């Protein structure tokens, strides 16, 4: 009987020390949308959000053409649609490019 108790205690100690509390839980389920939007994000979350933001992706495709001295969006509507961008996203960046072209900025 003592041998079984010792074995059970050893197994218990092994399991107790090998388990940890690094369980990922979604504790934000009860938060409102406002709270979710305004909670501080970690650096990794910020990088992920920046890399998956369609507007940011399209904005990175805005180039300055020195020949015509204008900003251009280096992507057509058809290509943007094929890549998964919505028409609204494309048009908002296109309007951004038009606004940039209306502003007189000196480029050296």
**Chain segment 56-103, per-residue pLDDT in tens:** 888 888 988 888 888 999 999 999 899 888 999 999 999 999 998 888
Higher model confidence: residue 37 or residue 2? 2
The pLDDT value recorded for residue 90 is 92
Please provide the average confidence, as pLDDT, over all residues in the chain: 78
Helix (H), strand (E), coil (C) string for 6-71: HHHHHHHHHHHHHCCCCCCCCHHHHCCHHHHHHCCCCHHHHHHHHHHCHHHHHHCCEEEECCCCEE
- With 0.75 as the threshold, say if the pTM is over it: no
Are 65 and 74 in contact by the 8 Å Cβ rule? The answer is no
Lowest mean pLDDT across 6-20, 33-47, 49-63, 83-97: 33-47
């Amino acid at each position: 009987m003592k041998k079984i108790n010792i074995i059970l205690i050893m197994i218990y100690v092994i399991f107790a020390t090998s388990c940890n509390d690094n369980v990922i839980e979604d504790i934000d389920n009860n938060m409102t949308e406002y709270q979710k939007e305004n909670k501080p994000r970690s650096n990794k979350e910020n990088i992920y959000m920046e890399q998956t933001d369609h507007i940011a992706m399209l904005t990175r495709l805005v180039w300055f053409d020195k020949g015509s001295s204008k900003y251009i969006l280096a992507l057509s509507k058809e290509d943007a649609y094929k890549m998964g961008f919505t028409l609204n996203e494309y048009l908002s960046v296109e309007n951004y490019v038009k606004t940039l072209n209306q502003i007189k900025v000196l480029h050296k």
